[in-house]
Structure 1
């Protein structure tokens, strides 16, 4: 378990990383537009994907798990994330509110993805942990199974973040390291 002073320092660092992620959008957008148009996407269509939308802060007290009706209390870092912004779309990354996460995690497509992970991807989060220890955190592409999940390993500790994209798995010991990765400064 992380000490209180260390947690406070990590929360301040997380707030800084979230702020950088928000304010560096223009640079990420310009790089995305240049690459998308180079690959043949029309400018109008590329611009339709290159958006940032940050919703107002709404009270969040717990995170739903994949187990119906089961929630987890917010960890200090998750509290900081939801005090920073509500719904947050940054190009392809959609960091949603718990109600949206519940809606997506109950769809047949998502449940099928979880089932496939349990059956065919040894050591994936769904293979290793039950639904009561997994929460959906963000969605990058529902159709292709690009999701980030919270993995609740131990009560009272920060959940890990496991990201799945293009048949790759990326693991982060907590939300701070995930945001560093989003900012291009991975420590794990």
Structure 2
């Protein structure tokens, strides 16, 4: 278990990483535009996708899990994330508010994706953990099943972040390391 002082320091470091991610949008946008147009997307289409929209902070006290009607209290780092910004869309990454988690988790497409992972992807988060230990953090593509999930291994611990994209899985010990990865400074 991580000590209280250490968690407070990590939450402050997370705020720095979130600020860095927010303020480096222009660099990511330019890189995205070049890449998208190299794959045949028109400049107009690429610019329409290359947006950053950050909603106001809203009170969040718990995070819904994939188990209907069950939630988890916010860990210190999740609390720091929701004290920093509300709904947050950045090019492809959409960091979710709890009501969006509930909406997506209830869709047939998402439930099918979870079921397929439980049945066919050995060692995936849905294979290893029950719905009461899983939640959604962000979505890159609902259609293609590109999600980042929160995984609570133990009560009272910071949840891990497991990202699924293009048949790949990336695991991070906690939210701070996930944001470092988004910023291109991964320690994992």
TM-score range, shorter chain: over 0.9
- Which residue pairs with 2:30 in the alignment? 30
What does residue range 95-114 of structure 1 map to in structure 2 within 5 Å?
95-114=95-114
- Which residue pairs with 1:16 in the alignment? 16
- Write the distance in 2 (CA, Å) between the matches of 1:125 and 1:155: 16
- When normalised by structure 1's length, the TM-score is 0.99
- Which residue pairs with 2:141 in the alignment? 141
**Deviation digits for residues 81-118 of structure 1 (CA, Å, limit 9, x no counterpart):** 00000000000000011001100011000000000000
- Which residue pairs with 1:164 in the alignment? 164
Tell me how far 1:37 sits from its aligned partner.
1.3
- Write the distance in 1 (CA, Å) between the matches of 2:85 and 2:96: 10
Give yes or no for the alignment of 1:51 onto 2:51: yes
Tell me how far 1:8 sits from its aligned partner.
1.1
5+ unaligned residues in a row in structure 2: which ranges? none
Tell me how far 1:38 sits from its aligned partner.
1.9
- Write the distance in 2 (CA, Å) between the matches of 1:148 and 1:104: 13
Tell me how far 1:45 sits from its aligned partner.
0.2
Tell me how far 1:66 sits from its aligned partner.
0.3
Give the secondary-structure state (helix, strand or coil) at the position aligned to 2:113.
helix
- Which residue pairs with 1:75 in the alignment? 75
- Write the distance in 1 (CA, Å) between the matches of 2:39 and 2:104: 30
- Write the distance in 2 (CA, Å) between the matches of 1:110 and 1:62: 21
- Write the distance in 1 (CA, Å) between the matches of 2:60 and 2:116: 30
- Which residue pairs with 1:60 in the alignment? 60
**Deviation digits for residues 68-90 of structure 1 (CA, Å, limit 9, x no counterpart):** 00000000000000000000000
Give yes or no for the alignment of 1:154 onto 2:146: no
5+ unaligned residues in a row in structure 1: which ranges? none
Q: CA RMSD in A?
A: 0.5
- Write the distance in 2 (CA, Å) between the matches of 1:138 and 1:39: 25
- Write the distance in 2 (CA, Å) between the matches of 1:110 and 1:120: 15
**Deviation digits for residues 9-45 of structure 1 (CA, Å, limit 9, x no counterpart):** 1011100000000000000000110111122210000
